[in-house]
Amino acid sequence: MNYLVIDTATDRTLLALFSNNDLIYSGFHDGATEHAEALPKLLKECLAVESQVDQVVVGMGPGPYTGLRVGIIFAMSFANARQIPWIGVCSLDGIDIDCDSYLVATDARRKEIYAARYQDGIRTQGPSVCAPDEIKDLDIKKFGFGFGDVLYPSMALLLAKSKTQDVKQPFYLRRPDAIESSAR
């Protein structure tokens, strides 16, 4: 069984293809506003390696609205066109930390983070959105924000999580910026 795995919840567009658990193709493109341009190019490269896809796995966030929406709609459209199933997973669950108890945080922009707590690889709290200083034990150097290494979802871990998750609604954690005219 071949699995196409897509995530656009961060400023990196990620796409991978697995045959069962064996990685066949992996590609990424950095650019917070370039998900829509990057996905078709990555998919073209991927399908040149192997054209058979049996299921799509897509990160459902949390993440910035536009990038997240691009990835989800792309994944759903590809699955619908091929008449194959798609499964959504929490993107934060794909960030691999080698600890028993840990916190995962990604940049939510606007001086905020998306965060979730884990125990033995299982999410126990979150996802949520907040300012970094609202989380007392957050080591900002470990999670980026201009310091240290930035972590991105592991495509293999997102695939593994798809065996136990089927998220159908995106994790949009903040209110929309757009307001109806009547509410202004």
Across the range 76-94, mean pLDDT stands at 97
Beta bridge partners of 25: 17
> Average model confidence (pLDDT) for the chain?
89
Owner of token pair 């650019």: 31
Count of CA atoms in the C-beta half-sphere (13 A) of 44: 5
What is the CATH number for 46? 3.30.420.40
The number of folded domains in the chain is 1
Inform me whether the pLDDT recorded for 142 exceeds 70.
no
**Domain span at residue 85?**
2-183
Across the range 50-57, mean pLDDT stands at 98
pLDDT band at 76 (very low <50, low <70, confident <90, very high): very high
pLDDT band at 144 (very low <50, low <70, confident <90, very high): very low
Q: What would the two tokens of residue 37 be?
A: 């341009």
Res 174: pLDDT: 72
Angular region, 120: left φ>0, alpha ψ -120 to 50, beta rest: left
* Least confident segment among 1-5, 16-20, 176-180: 176-180
Q: CA-to-CA distance for 115 and 33, rounded, in angstroms?
A: 22
Q: CA-to-CA distance for 116 and 118, rounded, in angstroms?
A: 7
* % residues pLDDT > 70 (the chain): 88
**What are residue 150's phi and psi, to 5 degrees?**
-95, 135
